[in-house]
């Protein structure tokens, strides 16, 4: 059998860990800056899906390096990844607030092919960077201790599926009120975006402070 019966509970735990990882505050803050610009459950769900795919892709890539080439990730790897995420959160929040202030419109239900590619790229890249930080980075370090490369890859894939499922559900929950509210919530749309932008900046600043303290900076 590809996976033994003994390993099944561990695989289930890894899947739940993936869901939990997807619902961490910095992930929700980052994806909310994209979801709040959408109108429609389908488009909101695609944001979460693309985030999860990007997250899983980077995790799988590094997982292969760890398992196939026995690359050991140094502790500073996690510090660097968290630092980049902190900067990204601040930039995403500031950009969303800028769009609200300047009145910049976004693509709604009808987009050109170029718009669609750009729309998919943003959450994908956000997820890819997040895939290298937090509990995901910790899991990548743990992979080096797993004797079987096959089991290690199974765990990475299951963890990735958990993150996709968790972020998909979160994106739908965030986008559903805006999609169903119609004109009744339209007047509050800009306030929601401002809130999402401020939340992202706050999470980024808080994460930067935590990273600086753990790294002994400041």
User: pLDDT digit of tens for each residue in the chain (218 aa)?
Assistant: 445 554 677 778 888 888 888 888 888 888 888 888 776 778 888 888 999 999 889 888 888 877 777 777 677 877 888 899 999 999 999 999 998 888 765 544 344 444 555 667 889 999 998 888 765 666 666 666 676 777 778 888 888 899 999 999 888 887 777 666 655 555 566 777 888 899 999 999 999 998 888 766 55
Please state the φ and ψ torsions of residue 141, each to the nearest 5 degrees: -70, -35
DSSP-assigned letter for residue 39: -
Task: State the sign of the Cα–Cα–Cα–Cα dihedral 22, 28, 30, 35.
Answer: positive
Spatial CB neighbours of 190, under 8 Å, sequence gap ≥ 6:
100
d(CA 100, CA 208): 25
Give the residue from 45, 76, 49, 24 showing the smallest Cα distance to 203: 24
pLDDT at 26: 86
DSSP 83-130: HHHHHHHHHHHHHHHHHHHHT-----S---HHHHHHHHHHHHHHHHHH
**What's the chain's length in residues?**
218
| Cα separation values, 178 from 27, 63, 113, 163, 190, Å | 20, 37, 25, 23, 11
Long-range pairs for 95-103: beta carbons < 8 A, 24 or more residues apart: 95/33, 95/197, 96/33, 96/36, 96/37, 96/193, 96/194, 96/196, 96/197, 96/200, 97/193, 97/194, 97/197, 97/198, 97/201, 99/37, 99/193, 100/190, 100/193, 100/194, 100/197
Q: 162 with 50: CB under 8 angstroms?
A: no
pLDDT at 165: 92
CA atoms within 13 Å, Cβ hemisphere of 190 = 9
Domain residue limits, the chain: 5-214
Write down the H helix ranges in 131-148.
134-143
């Amino acid at each position: 059998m590809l996976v033994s019966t003994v390993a099944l509970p561990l695989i289930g735990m890894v899947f739940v860990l993936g869901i939990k990882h997807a619902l961490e505050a910095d992930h929700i803050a980052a994806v909310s800056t994209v979801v709040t610009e959408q109108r429609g459950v389908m488009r909101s769900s695609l944001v979460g899906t693309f985030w999860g795919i990007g997250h899983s892709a980077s995790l799988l890539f590094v997982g292969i390096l760890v398992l196939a080439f026995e690359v050991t990730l140094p502790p500073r790897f996690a510090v660097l990844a968290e630092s980049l995420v902190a900067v990204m959160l601040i930039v995403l929040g500031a950009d969303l607030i800028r769009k609200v202030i300047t009145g910049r419109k976004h693509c709604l239900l009808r987009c050109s092919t170029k718009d669609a590619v750009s729309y998919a790229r943003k959450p994908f890249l956000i997820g890819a960077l997040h895939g290298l930080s937090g509990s995901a980075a910790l899991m990548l370090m743990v992979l080096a201790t797993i004797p079987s490369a096959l089991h290690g890859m199974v765990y990475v894939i299951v963890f990735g599926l958990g993150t996709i499922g968790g972020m998909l559900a979160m994106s739908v929950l965030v986008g559903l009120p805006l999609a169903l509210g119609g004109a009744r919530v339209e007047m509050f749309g800009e306030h929601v975006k401002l809130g999402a932008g401020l939340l992202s900046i706050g999470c980024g600043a808080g994460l930067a402070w935590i990273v600086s303290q753990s790294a002994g900076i400041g």
